[in-house]
Structure 1
Amino acid sequence: MRSIWKGAITFGLVNVPVKLYSATEDHDVSLHQVHDADGGRIRYQRRCEICGRVVDYEHIDKAYDDGDRTVVITGDDLKALPEEKSREIDVLEFVPSDQLDPIMFDRSYFLEPDGSSPKAYVLLRRTLEETDRTAIVHFSLRQKTRLAALRVRGDVLMLQTLLWDDEVREARFPALEKQTRITDKELDMSSSLVDSLSDDFEPADFSDDYQAELRQLIDAKLEEGESLDTDATFGESSDDADEGEGGEVIDLMEALRQSVEKNRSGGRRKPAKRAAARAGSSDDADDADDGDDTDDGESAPKKQAAKSPAARKPAAKASAKRPAAKASARKPAAKSEPVDEKPADGKSGPAKSVSAKSGAKKASAKKPTAKKAPARKSAEGERKAG
């Protein structure tokens, strides 16, 4: 960072030399204007209306016009003002920090101690921390007199410029002057919705999606040129779908109820925390699978396959089908009766059915040619006996 101002904080007889740095920066993609017909760059020129010439910046002065007369204010005139020459951040008073309305905050700056010893800087910082106070200061920067709040942020003193009292507008809207009745049930439901969305503020959980998509569009156009199909790349805009829904009258209680149910079911979690929750659940699953860390002789690929859900599902299906396979294997054995020939007298008894079953069991263990011959011999013996 580069300092933009050097001066000193003064309160009483204490003098704290400091350097001023911009605490924030703009992350928006820088775009310029071109002619849509040929892509030529559009530039704005500072052209004089009297002589018609383009005027360089060093030859431009400021002026004030009251309608009838014009007064020119040169750069030397501005430098001659006493406030512009001042290099002091003068402490006017110390106020409770909670008395500052956030609407008054404008720009933020960091203050770095400038000098051989930062003792006075650290002393002022510690004093503001211990007393929970904010210093209201007055200083000049870039040809403007400014009011600012001097407060502590971490280990650094921060200067936040404040809007003047007449720069903050008053909010007077006729709709707010009407008496509106809010029921206790509506208030309780609204409080439940607030509770379901309550969380600690983490700035890193949020991102500028528009700027990210704009950068993605620029990268895609650099690769594919003007033939890029933006609808296919980013999806169609939802503006047309939302058109006409603004005048729809909704049931406030029903909208609150659905919102509470949606958030309680986890349907409205921040992207960063949703990803963290997924990562945590996958880690827990891996820990559960790795309950036994001993080496059972399996190779690493097999263990990894056992951990993955895709590898576990077929095993479950196979185990479910195993009893059915056994049943199908038993059915043919019970139906197959190799000894099915009736005796000459046409009678059949229990003894033959038992021998037929035993013959079926033997047939499952022997070849077909070996099991028919004993069956014929037993049939011939019965005929001779008859």
Structure 2
Amino acid sequence: MRSLWQGTVSFGLVALPVDIYAATEDHGPGFHLVHAVDGGRIRHRRVCELDGQEIGPQETAQGWEAPDGRTVVLHDEDLEALPLPTKRIVEVIGFIDEADVDPLLYARPYWVGARGPGAQKPYALMTEALARSGRVAVCKVALRSRERLAVLRPRHGILVLHTLRWPEEIRDPGDLSSPAPTTDRELALAELLMDEMVGVDITGLHDDYAQALNSLVDTLAAGRTTAPPLEPQPPVDLMAALEESVRDARRARDGGHG
């Protein structure tokens, strides 16, 4: 892996030099935009709306619209000069229980590695201390040209930096809850169904979309048509659906017997 950020984790008087690496990668199908009539590839070009000229990457900069409507142009050197301590420091603000982080806030994970021999001891100490405490370190860090909220947490002896959305970035959903009443019998069956389906090995699950897409492409290339899958409908008899689901789950658990 190639480091995409170098800096220092700072907590109290302890300084931990680190490298940060991307922890995930996308494996989706490689779509590209084409003209629906003839299949011609559609290219996106950078064009200045004032003079109509096509602009190369080296001629672009960041623009910010001021309250009076003027555009302030910011170049890379301007952004590098920002007096922001988190540009090269993962600033630990404090520690909280991992359960206190709303999963809606989680954005993107990064692997964190110790940089240099002198970082090994504080790295091991912080990783083990977090693991034993069940807490995460709440941090601020500047990644990809903006300051982000983040948490540091241990995973199998390795530190993970997980960027968070700022709380104000979470939309208010309004009242999406259902007013429909539930009975004790329905709840008992739903809980029984969950008990029968306990034990999913997430590491054994894979994305089936690419395989389905390849099948679709082969079908279309052969001049055949496909029928869309039927969309599941809410059951007319909820109790009967729950009871049958419990029986199906038991048969699946028992290897199809019973």
TM range (shorter): 0.7 to 0.9
Structure 2 stretches of 5 or more lacking a match? Answer: none
Report percent identity of matched pairs: 34
Aligned residue for 1:254?
240
Q: Distance in 1 between matches of 2:221 and 2:94?
A: 62
Shift in Å, 1:42:
0.9
Aligned residue for 2:194?
194
- Cα–Cα, structure 1 residues 71 and 217, in superposed 2: closer, same or farther, change >3 Å? same
Q: Distance in 2 between matches of 1:122 and 1:51?
A: 56
Q: Distance in 1 between matches of 2:214 and 2:68?
A: 49
Secondary structure, counterpart of 2:31 in structure 1: coil
Q: Which amino acid aligns with 1:255?
A: A
Aligned residue for 1:108?
109
TM-score for both structures, normalised by structure 2:
0.88
Q: Which amino acid aligns with 1:251?
A: D
Check conservation: 2:9, 2:90, Cα contact below 8 A. Answer: yes
Residue 237 (str. 1) matches residue 239 (str. 2): no
Q: Which amino acid aligns with 1:228?
A: A
Which of these residues, 154, 157, 170, is aligned with residue 155 of structure 1?
A: 157
- Cα–Cα, structure 1 residues 8 and 215, in superposed 2: closer, same or farther, change >3 Å? farther
Check conservation: 1:84, 1:143, Cα contact below 8 A. Answer: no
Aligned residue for 2:250?
264
Aligned residue for 1:2?
2
Q: Distance in 2 between matches of 1:15 and 1:62?
A: 33
Aligned residue for 1:33?
33
Aligned residue for 1:13?
13
Aligned residue for 1:213?
212
Q: Relative contact order (alpha carbons < 8 A, sep ≥ 6): 1 or 2 greater?
A: 2
The structure with more strand, counted as a fraction of residues:
2
TM-score for both structures, normalised by structure 1:
0.60
Number of aligned pairs?
254
Q: Which amino acid aligns with 1:3?
A: S
Deviations 1:31-75 (A, max 9, x none): 212234443321011111221110112212222336851222312
Q: Distance in 1 between matches of 2:85 and 2:213?
A: 41
Q: Which amino acid aligns with 1:44?
A: H
Task: Please identify the structure whose Cα radius of gyration is greater.
Answer: 1
Check conservation: 1:84, 1:144, Cα contact below 8 A. Answer: no
- Cα–Cα, structure 1 residues 166 and 30, in superposed 2: closer, same or farther, change >3 Å? same
Secondary structure, counterpart of 2:193 in structure 1: helix
More moved, 81-90 vs 11-20? 81-90
Shift in Å, 1:15:
0.8
Secondary structure, counterpart of 1:82 in structure 2: coil
Shift in Å, 1:144:
0.3
Q: Which amino acid aligns with 1:237?
A: A
Check conservation: 1:45, 1:54, Cα contact below 8 A. Answer: yes
Which of these residues, 125, 128, 135, is aligned with residue 127 of structure 2?
A: 125
Q: Distance in 2 between matches of 1:5 and 1:49?
A: 34
The structure with more helix, counted as a fraction of residues:
1
Q: Which amino acid aligns with 2:249?
A: N
Structure 1 stretches of 5 or more lacking a match? Answer: 278-386
